[in-house]
Structure 1
Amino acid sequence: MRASQTIVARYVLASLVGLLGLAFLGAAEAPAADENRQPIAIQFSFDRPIDASVAPFVLAVTDGLFSSEGLAVMTDVAGGSPDAIARVAAGTSEFALVDINALIRFRDHDAPPVKAVFVLFNKSPYAIVARKSRGIHALSDIEGKTLGVAEGDLSLRLWPALAHQNGIKIASVKQNRMSAAVREPMLSAGQVDAVTGFSYQSAVNLRDRGVPADDLAVLRFADYGCEAYGFAVIVNPAFAAKRPETVKGFLRAAIAATNLAIREPGHAVDEVLTRMEDGARDLELERLRTVIEDNILTGEVKRNGIGGVDPIRLERSIDQVAEDYKFVKRPSAADIFDDGFLPPLGGRLIN
């Protein structure tokens, strides 16, 4: 009897040892399986040629922040925000960085339900850059002046709302249409009194051309009542529905990279320069610092974290877009932005 009990006990013990061994083997093989898992291929489109304003996304690629989320991100350059949005809508790009106000116009009619999921520029970069020596120190001084307007300029689309809000007579401002390539040279030469554009582009480029900083009046739309957000990440809706965790990982990497660009702007610019043909380090460093101060690290972002929107403010900005664009069916804030992929507040604070 004792012999039988001993045999049974030994059998049970051996079985337990075997099960523990299998469990250990499974645990040992799990990391190996994770290591062998192929990264998810992502196509990400910029809406314009790369400069320091997109440094966070360059860093996310070069410093391995995307790859740490299991993403293999390839980038390309579209011919403006409408083109980049069309690529995402068609699925040829999973993500793109675009002007959110172009997305608002795109969502009119029966457009594909493309939405923004992350806002990089809490304030739009729209601005009128003027010469003080031409008599322009504030927005009210623009009446009776000549405004240089580049083809396809996004800021011009919100000029009617800005002028209306500030009591400016639009008819009193002469517009001189031109290509973007000659915008800053014409202002520098005094052929126009001011130009529309992005504050981090025109103003920085003019100082680089030798226009004294104290002769430039940078009239930011955001300082005169413009509610618009700026550049935002959009995602293909079918991709987001199929791979929500991938979208969340993409945004975690973007937030980490934004923190890094703010902490180490010199490093960020060095990485950007590897993607540019003829960039100048001092110029791009000034551009990045301008973007961080004016567009990214705003009071709203310091309070509420990066990436999200205030729905009420977004609704007001859609109303401002409507002053120059006749909607067939006005989109709502919920049609434009989806916060469901963002991490909680603790994961969105800028350190």
Structure 2
Amino acid sequence: MGSVAFAAAAFAGQAGFADTNMPFALDWKLEGPAAPYFLAIENGHFADEGLTVEISEGAGSLDAIPKVATGAFPVGFADMASLMKFIDQNPGAPVTAVMMVYDKPSFSIVGRKSLGIETPADLEGKILGAPPPDGAWAQFPIFAAANDIDMDKVTVEPVGFPTREPMLAEGKVAAVTGFSFTSALNTMRLGVPEEDITVMLMANHGLALYGNAVIANTDFAKENPEAITGFVRAVAAGWKDAIADPDAAVDVLAAHNPAMDKDLETRRLKMSIDDNVLTDYVKENGMGGIDAERMDKSIEQMQMVYKFTNAPDPSLYFDDSFLPEDPLRID
């Protein structure tokens, strides 16, 4: 997918000072969960930080990482597990996470109750549709181990992303791996009643891994620490505004993607808020940071599905030094 960019000019608060240009690479298309970043532009939060922000859509969880590592973008949005692998495979790559956004990842099993899927154990003896490059599928062995699922009793059907939800809707598979707010809503859109759909968020079933985070080019960050901190503050403000009024957030997004189904994308945004962003941890501690003990556990779990070439080092994957001193309250 080609990168489609949408620019918004921001004006610095003090005359005579040029804005810092901060192109931002998303992980995916312009769907509901992208709305807070456009809202941060629309409501002037980036402008208040003296930043000019241009947002580009992406093509998957891996997409933004090399863009930021090469310096093509100073900041991006990417899955933490993918970032950890990239850094392990590219030692010294100038990229790290600076702000956690999805405190709980969207990795999920989405199944149909009418096909016998209500709990993790129900997957045994059933057909699971899984796109080989899917981030949720990559973590399935962790989920299986945490829930005592015998993977030999699960028939895995490799499927493409475009055919994943149609196969579930047609009953050709009983469940699929995917992002909760993607696979569940896409399946409903294909005519499957909401009450027939089971969503098992892996983070609620033993998965300690974190989800998507704002990542930064570390060379840029060292030279522009205030710009990174300002970017982080503006992102949190955009999410706070979106939580307060999801409909208004999607209205802003729709100006950049007129073909979107606004009702569907509002539901998708609300799901991401409830399941991934506004967690109990975030309500207590504010947005952006991580828990060191959980990070250590997530690395342990990662080693179940990925063999590190180099010794895992949490400090390479997440740098909290750019977070504001005051907690980023979004509730």
TM-score (norm 1): 0.88
Query: Counterpart of 2:228?
Result: 247
Per the alignment, do residues 245 and 239 of structure 1 end up closer, same or farther by CA in structure 2, a change over 3 Å counting?
A: same
2:280 corresponds to 1:309: no
2:25 corresponds to 1:45: yes
1:111, distance to aligned residue in structure 2 (A): 4.1
Q: Distance in 2 between matches of 1:207 and 1:312?
A: 37
Query: Counterpart of 2:325?
Result: 344
Q: Which runs of 4+ in 1 moved over 3 A?
A: none
2:104 corresponds to 1:123: yes
Residues 306-350 of structure 1: per-residue CA shift (max 9 Å, x gap): 01000110111111111111111132222111111111244x112
Query: Counterpart of 2:64?
Result: 84
Residues 131-188 of structure 1: per-residue CA shift (max 9 Å, x gap): 1111111000100110111242101111111111211111211111111111111100
Counterpart of 1:71 in structure 2: which amino acid? L
Q: Distance in 2 between matches of 1:323 and 1:345?
A: 36
- Give the gaps of 5 or more residues in structure 2: 1-11
Q: Distance in 2 between matches of 1:133 and 1:124?
A: 26
- Contact preservation (8 Å) 1:144, 1:174: yes
Q: Distance in 2 between matches of 1:221 and 1:98?
A: 18
Per the alignment, do residues 262 and 186 of structure 1 end up closer, same or farther by CA in structure 2, a change over 3 Å counting?
A: same
Query: Counterpart of 1:29?
Result: none
Residue of structure 2 aligned with 1:202, choices 172, 175, 183: 183
Counterpart of 1:253 in structure 2: which amino acid? A
Residues 209-261 of structure 1: per-residue CA shift (max 9 Å, x gap): 22111111111101110011111000001000001011111111111111101
Query: Which protein shows a greater Rg?
Result: 1
Counterpart of 1:225 in structure 2: which amino acid? G
SS at match of 2:288: coil
Task: Report which stretch shifted further, 185-194 or 163-172.
Answer: 163-172
Q: Distance in 2 between matches of 1:226 and 1:276?
A: 34
Counterpart of 1:135 in structure 2: which amino acid? G
Q: Distance in 2 between matches of 1:200 and 1:336?
A: 25
Root-mean-square deviation (CA), in Å? 1.5
2:197 corresponds to 1:216: yes
Q: Distance in 1 between matches of 2:216 and 2:264?
A: 31
Counterpart of 2:86 in structure 1: which amino acid? F
SS at match of 1:267: helix
Identical positions, percent:
39
Counterpart of 1:227 in structure 2: which amino acid? A
> Higher helix share goes to which structure?
1
SS at match of 1:246: helix
2:243 corresponds to 1:262: yes
2:159 corresponds to 1:188: no
Counterpart of 1:105 in structure 2: which amino acid? K
- Contact preservation (8 Å) 1:157, 1:321: no
Per the alignment, do residues 249 and 128 of structure 1 end up closer, same or farther by CA in structure 2, a change over 3 Å counting?
A: same
TM-score (norm 2): 0.93
SS at match of 1:35: coil
SS at match of 1:233: strand
Per the alignment, do residues 33 and 80 of structure 1 end up closer, same or farther by CA in structure 2, a change over 3 Å counting?
A: closer
- Contact preservation (8 Å) 2:28, 2:58: yes
Residue of structure 2 aligned with 1:64, choices 17, 41, 44: 44
Query: Counterpart of 2:4?
Result: none
- Give the gaps of 5 or more residues in structure 1: 1-31
SS at match of 1:74: strand
Residues 56-84 of structure 1: per-residue CA shift (max 9 Å, x gap): 11211222211221111112233323231
2:311 corresponds to 1:330: yes
Query: Counterpart of 1:235?
Result: 216
Q: Distance in 2 between matches of 1:77 and 1:51?
A: 10
Per the alignment, do residues 152 and 123 of structure 1 end up closer, same or farther by CA in structure 2, a change over 3 Å counting?
A: same
Number of residue equivalences: 319
Query: Counterpart of 1:5?
Result: none
Per the alignment, do residues 101 and 299 of structure 1 end up closer, same or farther by CA in structure 2, a change over 3 Å counting?
A: same
Task: Report which stretch shifted further, 203-212 or 289-298.
Answer: 203-212
Per the alignment, do residues 36 and 345 of structure 1 end up closer, same or farther by CA in structure 2, a change over 3 Å counting?
A: closer
1:33, distance to aligned residue in structure 2 (A): 10
- Contact preservation (8 Å) 2:209, 2:298: yes
Q: Distance in 1 between matches of 2:265 and 2:14?
A: 39
